[in-house]
Amino acid sequence: MFCNQCQQTLGGVACTKSGVCGKNPDVHSLQENLLYSLKGISAYAYHARELGYTDPEVDAFLAEGLYSTLTNVDFDLQRFLELNLKAGQTTLKVMDLLRRAHVETFGERQPVEVATGTFRGHGIVVTGHDLKALYELLRQTEGKGINVYTHSEMLPAHAYPKLHAFPHLKGNLGKSWTELRPDAASGVPGPDVHLGDRRAAGSQAPRRL
């Protein structure tokens, strides 16, 4: 057990055997898992909301789940087990919401050939998950002689017809998202833009337009 979820943590660091607040290791583990689930649900819900898609049940569960971890009055094991199961159901619901938002906004995905390597000219390497931000980047750089490349997790963007229609969306570079910095520096004269909630391991703050 390593619980640092509240202001009562032992020595101001963490409780390692049992919580000062009365929480046991099993409840702590379920709360920790619930918090990670809420982060993922929030990320998907945020990207869907950017495109105008929401689900009141998803929003309500985010509030319910977060509130359950903020109070120190109810450490019922069964309650947190049920909340974790509900988190799984909500995850499926929000993933479907985001899929619908993407398809109805950018078109049904189609198999396409995606070039690898670079083309002559300045370029921008884009990683992350935010298709709306990628679309805005493509729209604002259209006709300006700037090539745009996806990296790692952004590769599926090429399959959406509305994004694939931009001729300066040139291809995909690199391997894992952790390799963004060296991959981008290997041959693209231009910035790398992170359109998501993670940063390449060991990288500095991303350079933005």
Contact 127, 134 (CB under 8 A): no
The neighbouring-strand residues paired with 192 are: 125
Tell me how many degrees the CA angle 173-182-115 measures, rounded to the nearest 5: 10
106-118: b or e for each residue (b if 16 or more CB lie within 10 Å)?
A: beebeeeebeeeb
Name the 3-class secondary structure at 140: helix
**What distance in Å separates the CA atoms of residue 152 and residue 148, rounded to the nearest whole number?**
14
172-204: b or e for each residue (b if 16 or more CB lie within 10 Å)?
A: bbbeebbbbbebbeeebebebbbbbeebbeeee
Other CB atoms closer than 10 Å to residue 31's CB: what's the count? 20
pTM of the complete model: 0.79
Alpha helices in 14-169 (DSSP H): 25-50, 56-70, 77-106, 131-141, 161-164
**What distance in Å separates the CA atoms of residue 20 and residue 28, rounded to the nearest whole number?**
12
In order along its 209 residues, the chain shows pLDDT tens digits of 887 777 777 777 888 888 778 788 899 899 999 999 999 999 999 999 999 999 999 999 999 999 988 766 678 999 999 999 999 999 999 999 999 999 999 999 999 999 988 888 888 888 888 999 999 999 999 999 999 999 878 999 999 999 999 999 999 987 666 665 655 555 555 555 555 544 333 333 333 33
**What distance in Å separates the CA atoms of residue 206 and residue 153, rounded to the nearest whole number?**
16
